[in-house]
Structure 1
């Protein structure tokens, strides 16, 4: 009875997880485009700054601003693979039951949907990781320049 309850809960998670995977993939594509636009702006305008430093803002406040900018991308790159695993594992039970019952065609359609979810999730995570790394480097360089301009120590903590 406990296993059957777990199975029902897991099956009820499939639709929300697939929606999250789809949204995560669209968000990753949007982030990639925004990062390419920012890279172009940085290339055309060497003094371009994404981090708007308010003169009276402390370094801690600036570091928090950096974290607020890159934390959603970091979460995408870490959560997307887990969502992809869920999207793959949930349909596996019913697909294996179909194979055992001799309904290979039905199992094949379930497997293809499950693998599509994991592929999109891994693509979203990969894009997110690249965007996170690039933006983090840009923002840390800006923090370093602000810290240097203010005559503070070289240790950036973000």
Structure 2
């Protein structure tokens, strides 16, 4: 019983940090989506637009690492945020079910509303992150291919 109550207290203590991380992830997803729209506009206006360093002194391995560094946060956003949403849903589930068992369905409904709001925001952030990741990844691969082709012609 003592270990169960310790786990329950630890789980309850995680609720606010997890909700804060979901809020941060949602804000980051919106910011990244806006930045990607701006980059798409720049690419449309300037067909040769590049977000990779243009120096010929940088070898291809370094350029690939630079590209990976640019999209890795988006990959993490799209993979970790759904887990945070699940945690944000599961933590209040126990007390909500306890409220239902005690005949306090109104309290359980309030708890469920907050829990589901957290998972909705987390899934929205993950969805935006996945779309932006896919678009930026395609752009970066195209740039790397163009650079490889240009450097191959120079050699």
Offset, 1:29: 0.3
Deviation readout 1:86-130 (Å, 9 max, x if unpaired): 000000000000000011111000000000000000000000000
Relative to total residues, which structure has the larger helix share, 1 or 2?
Answer: 2
Aligned twin of 2:8: 7
Deviation readout 1:7-52 (Å, 9 max, x if unpaired): 1111000000000000000000001000000001101111111112
Contact 1:77 1:129 in 2 (8 A): yes
Aligned twin of 1:134: 135
How many corresponding residue pairs? Answer: 152
Offset, 1:53: 2.5
What SS does the aligned partner of 2:152 have? coil
Matched, 1:145 2:146: yes
Runs of 4+ that moved beyond 3 A: none
Aligned twin of 2:70: 69
TM-score by structure 2 length?
Answer: 0.96
TM-score by structure 1 length?
Answer: 0.94
Aligned twin of 1:107: 108
Offset, 1:55: 1.3
Deviation readout 1:36-88 (Å, 9 max, x if unpaired): 00001101111111112321101000000001100001100000000000000
Any residues of structure 2 matched to 1:91-106 within 5 Å, and which?
A: 91-106=92-107
In structure 1, runs of 5+ residues without a counterpart are: 153-158
In structure 2, runs of 5+ residues without a counterpart are: none
Q: CA RMSD in A?
A: 0.8
Aligned twin of 1:155: none
For 1:67 and 1:74, locate their aligned partners in 2 and report how far apart those are by CA, in whole Å. Answer: 10
